[in-house]
Structure 1
Amino acid sequence: MKKFEYKIVNFRTKGMVNMVLSKEHEEKLNDLGEEGWELVAIDRAKNPRNIMTVLKREKR
C-alpha cells in the first residue's frame, strides 16, 4: 500500500482587494513540484490575505 506525506505552505497574496499569487509563488510551487510534491488543495487561511496550500507526495 502506498504511503504519503503532506506539507502545508502558506502564501501571502499581493494586492489590496483581490488575492493574487505572484511569479515568486509560482516558482515556489514549481520547485516543490520538482521535489515530487503535488498540490492537492488550496484555500483561504484565517487571514484573508493568506492562501493555504496542501501538497502531498509518496513517502520515500
Structure 2
Amino acid sequence: MRVVFKAFAQCILVIFQFVFALTTRSTLSIVLLGVVAILYSFAFGLARQIIDEEEDL
C-alpha cells in the first residue's frame, strides 16, 4: 500500500510542476515533464497491478 501512496504523491508533484512549467512557458521543461509524467503513470499502473496480484493470493 505504501508503494501506491508514494506513486500517487509523485504524480501530484508532477502535476504541480507541469502547471508551473506552463506558467513559465518553457517548451523544454514542458516536454521533459511530459516524459516524466508518462513514466510515473506507468509506474503507478505497475504498482496497482502488483497490489491486485497480492490481493488475489
Q: TM-score, normalised by structure 2?
A: 0.38
Between structures 1 and 2, the one with greater helix share: 2
